[in-house]
């Protein structure tokens, strides 16, 4: 029989387990220690933004507006809503591809590129100056991690983050703790490890220095 995991306590106070988080696009399921979006929820998010893109079609087709102005509007009106709360996301490869596909379709629409132009995605990004969706989310995630890690020691969020990093490094704060059976899902702290190439504990320590952590948050994927 699998043991039930004990309740999480912070400063001797039991913390309720969150099962659902409300975002701008609706409620999403919170699995384990991270926000897990299903593929259907990602499709719902992109479909919602497609409606907004259609409403702004007159702007995308306006000949007197420069591409730079159109992409600034795209970043403010579309990307800001699309990536709302992305600092806590944990997505699979198929869900990342779905978001990236929507991002590329929007860029081609703004630039008035058709499928028969046979323009590569790399060329489209070079013209538009837009980054990969995953790179944008990675930078926001690291900034959020650093912000929480640098809060005061009495803040519960910092205590929880430090505990999560200790558990990721193999240090368990509660005796008899046992994870659920089966392959553990990719956690939020595991993404921080992948983003920086550091262990969870070393990432938490490095985040205490704002200038040092900024080099990790702003470094491109090619540099890493």
Q: Give the gyration radius of the chain's Cα atoms.
A: 20
Query: Could you report the per-residue pLDDT of 61-97, keeping only the tens digit for each?
Result: 998 999 999 999 999 989 988 898 888 888 888 888 9
- pLDDT value at residue 45: 78
Do residue 116 and residue 164 come from a single domain?
no
Verify that 121 and 40 share a domain, yes or no: yes
Is residue 103, in this structure, part of any structural domain at all? yes
Same domain for 32 and 126? yes
Compute the distance between CA of residue 74 and CA of residue 9 in angstroms, rounded to an integer: 42
| 36 and 66 fall within a common domain | yes
Domains: count for the chain: 2
Print the domain residue range for 28. 20-130
Q: Which of 130, 153, 188 lies at the terminal end of a domain, its last residue?
A: 130
**Is residue 124 very low, low, confident or very high in pLDDT (cuts 50, 70, 90)?**
very high
Q: Which residues fall within 8 angstroms of residue 195, CB to CB, at 6 or more apart?
A: 138, 141, 142, 216, 224
* pTM metric for this prediction: 0.75
Whether residues 157 and 95 fall in one domain: no
- Residue 111 counted as domain residue: yes
- Answer with the one of 110, 130, 150 that is the final residue of a domain: 130
Cβ-Cβ contacts under 8 Å for 210 (sequence gap 6 or more): 146, 150
Does residue 10 sit within a domain? no
Instruction: Pick the last residue of a domain from 65, 95, 130.
Output: 130
How confident is the model over 176-193, as pLDDT tens digits?
667 677 776 778 888 999
Contact 69, 8 (CB under 8 A): no
């Amino acid at each position: 029989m699998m043991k039930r995991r004990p309740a999480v306590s912070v400063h001797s106070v039991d913390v309720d387990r969150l099962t659902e988080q409300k975002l701008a696009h609706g409620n999403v399921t919170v699995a384990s220690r991270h926000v897990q979006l299903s593929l259907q929820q990602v499709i719902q998010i992109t479909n919602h933004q497609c409606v907004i893109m259609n409403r702004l079609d007159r702007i995308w087709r306006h000949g007197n507006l420069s591409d730079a102005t159109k992409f600034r509007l795209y970043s403010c009106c579309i990307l800001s809503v699309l990536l709302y709360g992305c600092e806590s996301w944990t997505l699979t490869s198929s869900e990342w591809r779905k978001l990236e596909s929507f991002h590329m379709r929007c860029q081609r629409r703004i630039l008035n590129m058709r499928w028969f132009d046979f323009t590569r995605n790399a060329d489209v990004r070079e013209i538009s100056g837009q980054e990969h969706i995953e790179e944008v989310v990675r930078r926001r995630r690291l900034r959020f991690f650093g912000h929480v890690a640098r809060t005061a020691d009495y803040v519960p969020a910092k205590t929880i983050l430090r505990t999560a990093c200790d558990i990721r490094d193999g240090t368990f704060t509660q005796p008899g703790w046992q994870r659920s059976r089966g392959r553990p899902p990719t956690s939020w702290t595991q993404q921080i490890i992948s983003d920086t190439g550091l262990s969870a504990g070393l990432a938490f320590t490095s985040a205490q220095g704002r200038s040092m952590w900024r080099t990790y948050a702003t470094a491109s994927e090619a540099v890493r």
